[in-house]
Amino acid sequence: MTDVAKILETMEYGPAPESSAPVEAWLDKHNRSFDLFVGGEWTRRRRISTVLIRRPARNSPRFPMRRKRMSMRRVKAARAAQPGWVKIGGARRARYLYAIARLIQKHSRLFAVLETMDNGKPIRETRDIDVPLAARHFYHHAGWAQLLESEFPDHEALGVAGQIVPWNFPFLIMAWKIAPALAAGNCVVLKPSKETSLSALLFAEICTEARLPKGVVNIVTGPGKVGDAIVRHPDVDKIAFTGSTEVGRGIRMATAGTGKKLTLELGGKSPFVVFEDADLDGAVEGTVDAIWFNQGQVCCAGSRLLVQESVAERFLAKLRARMETLRVGDPLDKATDIGAIVSMTQRASIDALVKRAWRRARTCSSPRRAARTAASIRRRCSPMSNRRP
């Protein structure tokens, strides 16, 4: 059988890698070392330590990321720029937001490949979802900037917004935090995750190319201590945080009584519910999207599956068959469904969860114990009307 005949028989995808050359060239331009973007300029200070960042798909050394303790200058730059940013009005702010949106589209391939290399998610997701949605956020809020005076006549900007974004959707979440803040006349001090800072640093270049006034957007990198300093800084008027519930609780406690505005977007265990009248094939695809999108690294991932008992066996059989066709591989390959976990720390956490689940499954493998468990669940779930007082 010829190679072509084999391909037609198996319908296997061939390799379709996206070139990383543009990103490598961009990294080389910066000598693979990055500073802080403060007051519209790249700043390098003495006594700045470096932390080695690794590429998730290969777990290989990539470049040193500079980090420094939180200083007054970063917030001062945003504070100094904010009155002028408000004064120019919504229509002129909209021009800058439109310019940023167009530049994101212009450099969309660079952003997509960079995000995939930095985060480990498949190129299809960054190319078709993250980057286009980021551009749409700036287009959308550019429109709102022009309507603020007529639609919100009694509202005014808060001032300086401290924004902390996670590693799972670094560029997209950055966009949906920065765009509305700028549209409303606020200035931003943004801290990306130490695991995935590259797209935020590329965005800083976009701000310069769009000729955004200096100090309106400031990008500061580093560990959690930098984010804590932003949260506690007295000149920060609003905190917007996306991340873990544990850290969110700490931020709520730190800001209590300070008068700071606060937005928390935390994680949860979202249920995926399938009833017996559902389109099971469609529900299987929905399950795949709910839990394996972005390797399952999603704040609202469908990590609990609740299936009506009458269709559970059929549904799980279909789901198992679909799981066997998921392609795990190089995130830069356009045919990859599941890329790389963002870091070895997260991989170790996942391994621990899988081992714990396996141990529990083994303890419940006894048919008698399984029958008792099922009977107990049915009793707890029976309608109250069937119970006698």
Which pLDDT score, from 0 to 100, does residue 95 have? 97
Residue 50 has φ and ψ, to the nearest 5°, of -125, 150
Q: Which residue has the tokens 């300070």?
A: 258
3-class DSSP state of 11: coil
Residue 85 has φ and ψ, to the nearest 5°, of -65, -40
Q: Would you name the residues annotated as active-site residues? A: 265, 299
Residues 6+ apart with CB under 8 A from 26: 110, 114, 202
3-class DSSP state of 111: helix
Which pLDDT score, from 0 to 100, does residue 66 have? 47
Which pLDDT score, from 0 to 100, does residue 389 have? 31
pLDDT in tens, 256-293: 999 999 999 988 778 899 999 999 999 999 999 999 88
Which pLDDT score, from 0 to 100, does residue 86 have? 95
The number of angstroms, rounded, from the C-alpha of 253 to the middle of its chain's C-alpha atoms is 24
Reported as type and span, the H/E element at residue 107 is none
Fold topology of 21-266: Aldehyde Dehydrogenase; Chain A, domain 1 (3.40.605)
Block means of pLDDT (10 residues each) for the chain, 389 residues, are 71 77 88 79 58 59 47 80 95 97 97 93 94 97 94 92 94 96 96 91 95 94 88 94 93 94 88 94 93 86 91 94 91 90 84 83 64 55 40
* Two structure tokens written together for 234: 């007295």
Which pLDDT score, from 0 to 100, does residue 37 have? 82
What is the end-to-end Cα distance of the chain in Å, rounded? 73
Helices 21-29 and 108-119 pack at an angle, to 10 degrees, of 90
pLDDT in tens, 134-172: 999 999 999 999 999 899 888 999 999 999 999 999 999
* Two structure tokens written together for 359: 């141990």
For residue 167, what are the CA distances in angstroms to 111, 164, 242, 297?
Answer: 15, 10, 10, 9
Burial 308-337 (b: 16+ CB within 10 A, else e): eeebeeebeebbeeeeeeeeebbbbbebbb
Report the side by side order of strands in the sheet with 238-243. Answer: 41-43, 36-38, 217-219, 187-191, 160-164, 238-243, 261-266
- Taking a C-beta distance cutoff of 8 angstroms, is the pair 23, 112 a contact? no
pTM of the model: 0.83
Question: 302: closest CA among 285, 321, 317?
Answer: 285
Fold topology of 268-339: Aldehyde Dehydrogenase; Chain A, domain 2 (3.40.309)
3-state helix, strand, coil in the chain (%, to 5): 55, 15, 30
Which pLDDT score, from 0 to 100, does residue 64 have? 45
Reported as type and span, the H/E element at residue 219 is strand 217-219
